[in-house]
Structures are given as C-alpha cells and as structure tokens.
Amino acid sequence: MDFTETYLDTCSTVSQAVRQNDVNSLKQLIQAGAEIDARTFEYETALMLACKGGHSECVQTLLDAGADPNSKTREDFTPLVEAAVVNIECVKILIKAGADVNHPIYTGDTTLHEVVRLHKDSFMDTVKYLLQNGADLSVVNEYSLTPLFLAASYGLAECLQCFIEYAQEKGEEYKKIIVNMTADDNASPLYLSTQEEFVDCVQLLLQHGADPNIHVTLFD
C-alpha cells in the first residue's frame, strides 16, 4: 500500500488522519513512511489542515516528524496564519518550532493583521502572544494598513489599547509614528474611528498623540 498517494480532490493519508484528529493513526502512518508534507489541490500541507482544525496534538506530532512550520500555499498562507484564528495552543507550538510571525500572505497581511481582522472569541490572547513573540506593528498590507489601523477601524478598543501600550514600550516617537500611520488614501486610524463613531477609540488615539489634522486624499 502506498501511504504517500495523493488525489486531485482530496489529499494524502496523513492529511486524512489529521482532518479526523486521529493522532494514533497519524503516528502509525508517519512510522510507516508516509509523506508528511504532501499537498492538497489547494496546496495545503497536513500541518496546515491540523492548524485549521485546531488539532494541537496533530500539530506537535507533525512538527516532531519534521513538517515545515513555514510551508506556504499558493496564496502564501502559512500554518501560523491558519492556527492564529482558531487555537492559541497551535500558535504556541508553531512559534516554538520556528514559525515566522511576520510572514505576509498575498495581500501583505501578517498573522497579526488576520487575527485583528477576524477578531474571533478570545482573539486578544493570541494578539498578546504574537506581540510577545516579535509581531511587528509597523508592517502594512497592500492598502498600507497596519494592525493598529484595523483595530481602530473595527472599534476594537481593548486591542487598540494593547497596541498603543506595546508601541509605548518602544518609545514615545515610535508610538506616535504607529498611531499616525495612514492608508493609501491618507486616512488615519483616528479618521476611521471618528467616521464610525467609535468614541472609546477616538479618545484613546487622541490621548496618545494621534494627529487630528491629517486629511484624507481624494482620488478622481
């Protein structure tokens, strides 16, 4: 029996075990020589599928067997990006194994961008852990948006406060830069918070050096 066999519309036996969170079968397959980094038709590895499912024991098993923590899909999604919006335990395991915290996907968004954008339950635990492990607040996506900009635009006051405190640790000048980094149209975090009437965010930003005189650029 060929344990590395793959199909156009499915995946390898390893990935099938991961989808079912069947750790015992996964270990047996690996011991039998099954390929751990076989790809689905969407170019996902078994590790990515384990992360998407929040299956932390499968994640650890695959990494112990040599799975690449920085494997990428064709759109540059990584296991960490997938895990960060599902299960913080998987995030911790991946970072310990050397996952790149600041790797950008095809839109330029990092893991931190994605966590803030989706802001699922308990997302703040993941935000804090990413920051503690080197997540860069100054990275911008294809629209020049920072994670702080996203927090302000969604009215996530607790997240915004966390980012500001983190930036403050790097110095007053750095904080002012981060707080005032603008989008492609020169819209600022303060502008978006004001526009959406997120009063708590507006107050936070003004208290920490947001410039109220940054004007949006109008494009023809």
Q: What is the pLDDT confidence band of residue 38, given thresholds at 50, 70 and 90? A: confident
pLDDT digits (tens, 9 = 90+) for 63-116: 999 999 999 999 999 999 999 999 999 999 999 999 999 999 999 999 999 999
Structure token pair of residue 178: 């981060």
pTM over 0.85: yes
Q: Does one domain contain both 108 and 205?
A: yes
Q: Region 187-207: what's the mean pLDDT?
A: 97
Measured CA to CA, the distance from residue 86 to residue 103 in angstroms comes to 18
Q: Region 206-214: what's the mean pLDDT?
A: 97
Residue 2 has pLDDT above 70, yes or no: no
Q: For residues 138-151, b (16+ Cβ closer than 10 Å) or e, as one string?
A: ebbbeeebbbbbbb
At residue 11, the pLDDT reads: 58
At residue 182, the pLDDT reads: 97
Domain boundary residue among 72, 97, 122? 97
Other CB atoms within 10 Å distance of the CB of residue 99: 26
Q: How far is CA 177 from the centre of its chain?
A: 22
Q: Does one domain contain both 85 and 138?
A: no
Measured CA to CA, the distance from residue 48 to residue 63 in angstroms comes to 11
At residue 76, the pLDDT reads: 96
Q: Does one domain contain both 138 and 43?
A: no
Domain boundary residue among 97, 122, 154? 97
**What range does the domain containing 206 cover?**
101-220
Read off the CATH number of the domain in which 36 is found: 1.25.40.20
Q: Does one domain contain both 150 and 201?
A: yes
At residue 37, the pLDDT reads: 86
Residue 55 DSSP code: -
At residue 40, the pLDDT reads: 85
Q: Does one domain contain both 47 and 116?
A: no
Structure token pair of residue 78: 């990584």
Q: Does one domain contain both 128 and 38?
A: no
Q: Does one domain contain both 90 and 105?
A: no
Number of domains in the chain: 2
Q: Are 15 and 23 in contact (CB under 8 A)?
A: no
DSSP assignments along 92-142, one per residue = HHHHHTT--TT---TTS--HHHHHHHH--TTHHHHHHHHHHTT--TT---T
Domain boundary residue among 67, 97, 127? 97
Measured CA to CA, the distance from residue 197 to residue 147 in angstroms comes to 19
Mean pLDDT value across the chain: 93
Q: Does one domain contain both 82 and 186?
A: no
Find, among 170, 180, 176, the residue nearest to 146 by Cα: 180
Q: Does one domain contain both 61 and 86?
A: yes
Measured CA to CA, the distance from residue 54 to residue 49 in angstroms comes to 9
pLDDT digits (tens, 9 = 90+) for 123-169: 999 999 999 999 999 999 999 999 999 999 999 999 999 999 999 99
Q: Does one domain contain both 145 and 219?
A: yes
Q: Does one domain contain both 37 and 110?
A: no
Q: Does one domain contain both 105 and 205?
A: yes
